[in-house]
Structure 1
Amino acid sequence: MKDSPELRAAIRATSAFRDLSEASIALLIDAAERQTFEPGAILMVQGEPSDFAMLILEGEVTVAADSARGAIPISTLQAPSLLGELGSLAHLPRSATGRARTPVTALRFGRAALIEVARATPSLLIDIIGRMGERMRKVNGAISLYTHALAALEQHEFDPALLVELRNPIPDLADFGQTFGRMAEQIILRRQRDDEMASAAVIQRALLPKVPEFAAESGLDIFAEMTPAKDVGGDFYDLVQLADGRIALGVGDVCGKGVPAALFMGITRTLIRIHLRASPDLSGAILKTNAYLVNNNAAQLFATLLYATFDPRSGEVEYCSCGHLPGLIRRANGVIEKLSAGGLPVGMFEQMKANVGLTVMKPGELFFLYTDGVTEAEDAGQNDFGEDRLRVLLAEGDVADAVQCIARVGAAVREFARGVPQFDDITCLALRR
């Protein structure tokens, strides 16, 4: 590279090269290569061999450590500054990535030339050691700050004043503090959301019928259970004592998950209960509910339903399916009868039919209602649990009561999935005459 007084002055402008002899400067210039970089261009990459160093003559360079969660800013270097000299002298892999923040002009020195100059100039090594110590001081300060902040986050004792400190750290920790401050804010927001979702889950469960109490008051062998895939779900079950001595029972599944589905679920279930208590007419209650949902459905959600009425005196069952999976009856001889399904989900079209079917349960027979979280549960090979497996399970052995029936189904689904995460709500309701 061509020597010049201006270039020598630029090299001496950095503290590390201030005391270089004329011969050492000449050696560096002879080995140097002038390079230019546009904003965003990479000067050196973390993890690569440190076989050169750079003297930034013009512009700014950001130094960041790459991690699994993205780049973590370490520092911003302004000309004149050395970059990569420590790794080059120690022959270590790059500890960070340097990227041009502005247009950059730099001199690139090979490792061999830098080592030869360092051997001839002890002050160069002293300067590098001093700057390394300063970096360690900053890192120790950041570790101290983060350790305190992380401990506070872990113990749910995060003082908002600490966020102020993180947003406005001392200059030495500015880049560290900004990164951790953003992370802390996200953790706090996520924790608030988790707390709100946990409260919503408690409220949703409180709105569902208290099955043991209902069974005790009605004298029926009945049980229901819902396991949401998230904190709150779009599935529901229902039990209603009707004025004519019958009971209404049902399950439903709202399209979607989370809070919107849970709200739609609550509205749907509440409307059906209101209409059934006003008049024990199964099809009428469903049609009135659908009319309201269609006209008040900004989110364009819908729900599949299977509702039935049961007369404990005669065993007569009226049932109505709105786009839902068919109910199953385990007859006294162990045969599983699938009740015909049909109809459209509620909340989709104002004009719909609610076709009601009729059957009779004899003593010892069991009525089983469920949502597709049961049959669509997957194993590690992405195979569905399926309706056939469910029917075989219900047909096998004696069913002592409704509680045992649902416990067997739940255990079978968990065994089938073998740890595969649940992706849909699972709801079951069983009634044994």
Structure 2
Amino acid sequence: MSGSAKTKGKARSGGGVGLGLVPRIVLLVGGLVGGLSIVSALWLAYVAGSYVQEAGRTGARYAVASARGLDGLHRITLSERGDYLEFTSEDSLGKTLPPVQVPRQAFDTISSSTRAAILVAAIALAVLTFATALFIAIRVAAPLNRILEDVTEISRGKLEHRIRTSGGGEIATLARAVTRMVDDLVEKRATDAELGRREHDVNIAAEIRRALIPDSIPQLAGWELAATDLAAIDAGGDFFDVLEFPSGRIGLVVSEIAGTGVSSAMVMTMARAYLRAEALRVEEPVEALARANRLIRADMRRGMYVTALYALLDPQAGELRLASAGHKVPLLRWHGESRRLQMMQSEGIALGLDPGPVFERTIREAKVLVAPGDRLVITNTCGATVRNPAGEELGEKGFYRIVAQHAGADSDRFLQGVLAGIEAHAQGVPLERNFVMVTLKRSS
């Protein structure tokens, strides 16, 4: 395969030696025009000479006839071979006129001179035509041939090659048009490469997320636990996790990662691993987040951050202990008895921003007693920031209204209702980040 490609390359490069196709055509046309000019001139010379000879003979005949008409005395001899004409005459005074001889060579000389003059003019015309064709070849065809060679180089994939031209006129305009076309092609190729790279990153990030999101949700007697994860067009690092402890407690985590793509997914992998490890080591939300913060801070790249809302549920006691690491969306509690929605937020800064002292000094724990019929919701900011075609966000109030509208249903139907409300507002506009939600309802 490589040998065949090499042979083709040599054949194409050899075609550029000497004059190109356009100059050859111009010179061929010039040669044809010059040849036709010479042939036309020779024919004109022949015709003109014939007319001159005939005119000479006719003039001689008219002269003889006139002389004969003057006195009518002498016979006029016109040689059969046409060598000469001769006559004698006598005027009224009785003087004899000498014989007049008009050789035919005189007529031939006249026609030959005429032919020579026309031939010289024809040759001059042919030379002028050839010179004009050569001028066109140099001034027009040669630049076109250079453009053709440059386009050939570009077609071989050398997009950095540029069209060689100078001056103005149509040739320069053509060269600029080809250059713009090549620049557009380079830009399109770069755009396609960037889109391909982004698509590749999104696919990798999506694979990482799918591998880390829990496949199943544990079932608790007297509780309805459910979760959802709706991927955005650009997969990010937002995630949820459900932890099961030997004591029977259940840990619920929702985390939001800055950015999208592979970098965000890699931070997600790190944060999830540290949060899970420290949460399972100590069943204390504040201490678990503080320990995870130290580890995340050591590995966190500048400009990145992680927020997390960690809730530890004791199913037997109906008690929920809550700690927030800079998570923007509070815990949502829907009271089954009053049918009202309550926002509960605990203090704290994001993970990875501080080595430890400030984080540990600001974080606080909150406790919630969950009554039968109550629902708890932990989510990220996606629900409130969903946009419609007009660019309008759903907003916190709109999102909380959707949550309250479906909070009384069982957990599966609740999630379906929330997703339907978000999609109704978006009207087909893709999500800007992944939508993550974990919900818990006490049924008895």
Which TM-score tier does this pair reach, normalised by the shorter chain?
A: 0.5 to 0.7
1:403 paired to 2:416: no
Equivalent residues of 1:228, 1:426 under 8 A apart: yes
Which residue is 2:163 aligned to?
Answer: 101
Letter in 2 for 1:345: A
- 1:250–1:305 CA contact under 8 A, matched in 2: yes
Tell me if structure 2 keeps the 8 A contact 1:294–1:348: yes
Q: Deviations over 1:168-208 (max 9, x none)?
A: xxxxxxxx9xx89x97xx78x98798578546533432322
Distance in 1 between the 2:311 and 2:29 partners?
A: 85
Return the match for 1:304 from 292, 304, 307: 307
Check 1:59–1:305 CA distance in 2 against 1; reply closer, same or farther (3 A cut). Answer: same
Farther off after superposition, 298-307 or 252-261: 298-307
Residue number among 334, 337, 342 corresponding to 2:342 in the alignment: 337
Q: Deviations over 1:317-368 (max 9, x none)?
A: 1111122111101111210000024321101111213211111111111101
Q: Which residue, out of 147, 156, 168, partners 1:61?
A: 147
Does structure 2 retain, via aligned residues, the 8 Å contact 1:59–1:104?
A: no
Partners of 1:242 and 1:276 within 8 A in 2: no
CA contact (8 A) 1:62 1:100 kept: no
Greater share of helix: 2
Q: Name structure 1 gaps, 5 residues minimum.
A: 1-9, 37-53, 66-71, 76-98, 110-175
Cα shift at 1:399 = 2.5
Report sequence identity in percent: 20
Q: Does 1:280 align with 2:283?
A: yes
**Structural mapping, 1:120-199, within 5 Å:** 198=203
Map of 1:197-216 to 2, 5 A cutoff?
Answer: 198=203, 201-212=206-217, 214-215=218-219
Q: What does 1:7-26 align with in structure 2 at a 5 Å threshold?
A: 14-21=27-34
Instruction: Call closer, same or farther: CA 1:106–1:15 in 2, change over 3 Å.
Output: farther
**Match for 1:253 among 234, 240, 256?**
256
1:322 aligns with 2:325: yes
State the TM-score, normalizing by the size of structure 2: 0.59
CA distance in 2, matches of 1:107, 1:378: 52
Deviates more, 1:189-198 or 1:278-287: 189-198
On the 8 A contact 1:34/1:107 being kept in 2, the answer is: no
**Residue 312 of structure 2 contacts residue 322 of structure 2 at CA under 8 Å; is this kept in 1?**
yes
List gaps (5 residues or longer) in structure 2: 1-22, 38-124, 172-181
TM-score, normalising length: structure 1 = 0.60
- Is the alpha carbon distance of 1:364 and 1:17 closer, same or farther for their aligned partners in structure 2, counting shifts above 3 Å? farther
- How much has 1:19 moved relative to structure 2? 2.1
Structure 1 segments, 4+ long, off by >3 Å, are 10-18, 21-30, 32-36, 54-59, 62-65, 72-75, 103-109, 189-200, 217-220
Is the 1:226–1:235 contact (alpha carbons within 8 Å) kept by the matching residues of 2? no
Q: In the aligned structure 2, how far is the partner of 1:340 from the partner of 1:283?
A: 14
State the shift of 1:244 in Å.
2.9
| Distance (Å, rounded) in 1 between the aligned partners of 2:222 and 2:28 | 90
Q: Determine helix, strand or coil for the equivalent of 2:376.
A: strand
Shift of the 218–287 alpha-carbon distance from structure 1 to 2, 3 Å rule, reads farther
The one of 377, 399, 419 aligned to 2:428: 419
- Indicate conservation of the 8 Å contact 1:315/1:362, yes or no: yes
* 15 and 342 in structure 1: CA distance in 2 versus 1, 3 angstrom threshold: farther
Q: Which amino acid aligns with 1:281?
A: E
Matched, 1:293 2:292: no
Are the structure 2 counterparts of residues 422 and 12 from structure 1 closer, same or farther at C-alpha, using a change threshold of 3 Å? closer
Cα distance between partner residues in 1 of 2:216 and 2:292: 24
Query: Greater strand share, 1 or 2?
Result: 1
1:306 and 1:319 in contact (8 A); partners too: yes
Which of these residues, 376, 385, 403, is aligned with residue 394 of structure 2? 385
CA deviation string 1:135-176 (max 9, x = no partner): xxxxxxxxxxxxxxxxxxxxxxxxxxxxxxxxxxxxxxxxx9
Contact 2:26 2:137 (8 Å CA) reproduced: no
Aligned pair 1:431/2:440, yes or no? yes
How far 1:103 sits from its partner (Å)? Answer: 3.9
Matched residue type, 2:373:
G
State the AA in 1 paired with 2:383. V
Q: SS of 1:367's equivalent?
A: strand
User: Any residues of structure 2 matched to 1:20-39 within 5 Å, and which?
Assistant: 20-21=33-34
State the SS of the aligned residue for 2:323.
Answer: strand
Preserved CA contact (<8 Å) 1:58 1:106? no
How many residue pairs match? The answer is 305
